Amino acid sequence: MWKPPVRKTVMTMSNLLNTSSTPSAPADKMTHPDQLLLHMCCGPCAEYPLEQLRLQGYEVSGYFYNPNIHPQQEWETRLANVRRLAELKHLTVYENAEYREQQWRDYGCTARSGQCQICYALRMNAAAQFAAQQGFRQFTTSLLVSPYQNYEAIVRTARLAARRYGISFLEQDFRSGYRKGQEMAKADGLYRQKYCGCIFSLGETKPKYRDRYLESFGLDLADLPRRLTGQ
């Protein structure tokens, strides 16, 4: 599996978004005309899109890049879940091991708004860049299955990222299959998380889930950003 080194950069909004200022040429000049790179936000959300894309004849490879999941223990659990799905479905998954949670938290604590837009841009730019480098002509994302995400913002952001790297973004509205995908994940024994991923979503999830998670992580309310607890 391909694993880039973790890059250490000073936190700014442009650094959060910057994966590369210019498109990279395909690493080996190969192209994959029928192949598609699926950015995977997590295992459960990837279930239904993967099934649908394969039914449509795409040869799908996965790409895991979600660097702001909090805490690292949860990031590791979700990555393990993606690996389990990959095994079950005979799916090649490329893992980007970059973890930038502290940068993300520093940014989010000061920005106070628009965090999901930045989060989408961060992930879609990395996915588009990686797809272009590896010779894929198109990519999409499992984020499009979730009714809890901002579908239009994801599509808009992903199209811009695709254009930046000279490839296409495949827009497919998978949301009608969200429940089915969750059932598939349950049947496959995948862990199904109760919050989106970042520390802000952990703090904003239902208190019964939030408190259970905090306890399992060895954290408490004081570990959440003040804006979430009012402390």
Which residues sit at the interface with ligand SF4, rule CB under 6 A? 68, 115-116, 119, 196-198, 200-201
Query: How much of the chain is helix, strand and coil, in % rounded to 5?
Result: 55, 10, 35
* Shortest reach from residue 122's CB to ligand SF4, in Å: 8
Q: How many CB atoms lie within 10 A of CB 70?
A: 24
Least Å distance, CB 192 to ligand SF4, is: 15
Query: Which of 185/196 has CB closer to ligand SF4?
Result: 196
Residues 6+ apart with CB under 8 A from 192: 44, 182, 185, 186
Considering the complex, state which of residue 119 and residue 190 has its C-beta at the smaller distance from ligand SF4: 119
Nearer to ligand SF4, 87 or 204 (CB): 204
Would you say 77 or 115 has its CB closer to ligand SF4? 115
The least distance separating ligand SF4 from the CB of residue 210, rounded to whole angstroms, comes to 13
- Shortest Å distance, C-beta 148 to ligand SF4: 8
Other beta carbons less than 10 A from residue 180's beta carbon? 15
Q: How far apart are CA 173 and CA 185, in angstroms?
A: 19
Nearer to ligand SF4, 133 or 182 (CB): 182
Shortest reach from residue 91's CB to ligand SF4, in Å:
23
Q: How far is the CB of 142 from ligand SF4 (least distance, A)?
A: 12
CB nearer ligand SF4, residue 134 or residue 201:
201
Q: Tell me: cis bond preceding 71? Omega within 30 of 0 counts.
A: yes
Number of H helices, E strands in the chain: 10, 5
SS3 220: coil
Strand partners, 34: none
Tokens for 84, please give them. Answer: 């389990």
Which of 10, 6, 11, 230 lies closest to 118 in space, CA to CA?
11
